[in-house]
Amino acid sequence: MLDSRTQPCRLILASSSPYRRSLLERLRIPFDVCVPDVDETPHPGETPADTALRLAQAKARAVAAREAAEPVLVIGSDQVATFDGLQIGKPGTHEKALQQLRAMRNRIVEFHSALCLFDSACGLAQTEDVVTRVRFRDLPDAELDAYLRAETPYDVAGSAKSEGLGIALLDEIESNDPTALVGLPLIALTRMLRAAGYPLLGGAR
C-alpha cells in the first residue's frame, strides 16, 4: 500500500479499448495506456465469471511485467456476456452481430465486467466481478439491422453500446454500478484505488 506522504505510483490502464479509456478519464487522474498481449480464448469448462476474472488479472500482470523498472498500479478489465450458459464474444462482423441480437431478443443477458488492480510494488491483485443483467427488447430484424449499420458495435460483447444508440435495444438494466456495462466498473475501481492508498480525489485535475 502507498504511503499518503509519498508520490503515488504511476497508474496504467491495460487496455486497447477507447470506451475504458473514456471512462477512466472521468476520474480526472493521470494515467498511461498500455495494450496487453493476452490470448482471450476461454478455457474449456471455464465459467463466464472465471474467464473474465482470469483475463482481467492476466492483462494487468502482463503490463506490470513489461513495466518492471518501476512500481506501478495497473488496471486490467475484461467483459464476458452470457445467456443460456453460453459465452457471447465480440461479433467482429455485421453478420455475426445480427445473429447475436436475434438470439437475444426478449432475453435476459448477463454481462460479467471483471476488474483487477495490480500493485507491482507488493504483488497484490485486487479483483472483482461486477454483474449486470440486461433484458433485450423483441425488435424486428429491420430495426436490428438499422441499429448495427448506424453504430457498428462490432468490437463489444453483445453487439450493443448502452452508452449510445444501443440503449434503444434494451428494456431493462439491473446493476449496482452503471459504468460496469460500458466496460470499466468505476465504483469498484475507486474502492480498489482507495484500498491501495492512491490519493484519488487529491490527484484529480
43 lies in a domain?
A: yes
Domains contained in the chain, number: 1
- pLDDT digits over 154-179, tens only? 988 889 988 889 999 999 999 999 99
The answer to whether residue 3 is catalytic is no
- In this structure, what CATH number is given to the domain that contains residue 60? 3.90.950.10
**Residue span of the structural domain in which 87 resides:** 10-195
Of 3, 37, 50, 78, catalytic? 78
Could you tell me if residue 4 is inside a domain? no
Structure confidence by residue, pLDDT tens digits, 6-59: 567 899 999 988 889 999 999 999 999 999 989 888 898 889 999 999 999 999
CB count within 10 Å of CB 192 equals 22
Nearest to 15 by CA among 34, 28, 30: 34
Domain annotation covers residue 96: yes
Is 182 domain-assigned?
A: yes
Average pLDDT value for the chain:
91
Give counts: helices (H), strands (E), the chain. Answer: 5, 7
Residue 189 lies in a domain: yes
Flag whether 205 is in a domain: no
pTM over 0.85: yes
Q: What percent of the chain has pLDDT over 90?
A: 73
Q: Grid coordinates in use for 65?
A: 511485467
**Residue 45 counted as domain residue:** yes
Is residue 129 one of the residues assigned to a domain? yes
pLDDT tens profile 115-158: 999 999 999 999 999 999 999 999 999 999 999 999 999 988 88
5 pLDDT higher than 50: no
Distance from first CA to last CA of the chain, Å, rounded? 23
